[in-house]
Amino acid sequence: MRVFVAVELPPDVHKTLARIQDRLREQGCRGRWVPEDNFHITMKFLGEVREEQIPKIQQSLDTAALGVPPFSLKLGPLGSFRNGQVLFCKTDGAVETLEKLAYSVERELVPMGFKPEKRKFRAHITIARAVTGFSDYCEAADRSSIVKFKVMSFVLMESLQGGQGVRYVPLYHVPLVPNQ
C-alpha cells in the first residue's frame, strides 16, 4: 500500500481552493487539476509499505504528536515549484507549529527505514500539476475568500490508484492534544 502523512483540510477550504482553480482556468491557466476531494498538506511521503508495518507507523505518529497542541492555519498566496510546473497555495498562520510537527514525524519515521527528506519542509497545498499559463500576476486568490482553519489532528493516508484517478483514504487519525 502507498501511504503518506498529511493534514486534512475542512470542507470550506476545499471549496475555496476549487473556486481558485476555477478562476485560474478562466484566466487561461491549464494543467492537471487536483480534484477538490484530494486537497491536503503533505508532511511526509512514505511510499510503498507492507500492511504489517502500519501498527508501528501509527505508534510513531502518536509519539510525534506528543507536545504539539492544535493550531490555526490560513490559506496564503499562490506559488509554484519546479519552474512553474506545480501550482500550490501557501499556508500562513502557525506554520512554525506545522513545521515542528512535520520534523517530529520525520524524526520518528526515519529510524523505521523511511528516507529522510533532503529538502526543507514547505507547507503548501498542491492545486495543479503540469501547469501552463500561470504567472505570479494571476489574480485568482481573492484575499476576501481566504479562510482560516484549525488543525486538530493529522492522518496517515493511503493513496489508491483507480480508473477514476487517485483517491485518498484515511487509515489512522492522530489527535493533537491541547497543552494542559
Which domains are present in the chain?
2-175 (3.90.1140.10)
CB hemisphere CA count around 93 (13 angstroms): 18
- The torsion angles phi and psi of 103, rounded to 5 degrees, stand at -70, -35
Determine contact, residues 127/40, Cβ cutoff 8 Å: no
Active site residue 124: yes
Question: What pLDDT digit, counting tens, does each position of 50-108 carry?
Answer: 999 999 999 999 999 999 999 999 998 888 887 778 899 999 999 999 999 999 999 99
Which one of the listed residues 7, 24, 40, 93 is annotated catalytic?
Answer: 40
Active site residue 173: no
Which one of the listed residues 124, 127, 141, 174 is annotated catalytic?
Answer: 124
Can you tell me the distance from the alpha carbon of 41 to that of 60, in angstroms, rounded to the nearest whole number? 19
Beta-bridge mates of residue 93: 73
For the entire predicted model, the pTM comes to 0.91
Can you tell me the distance from the alpha carbon of 78 to that of 137, in angstroms, rounded to the nearest whole number? 10
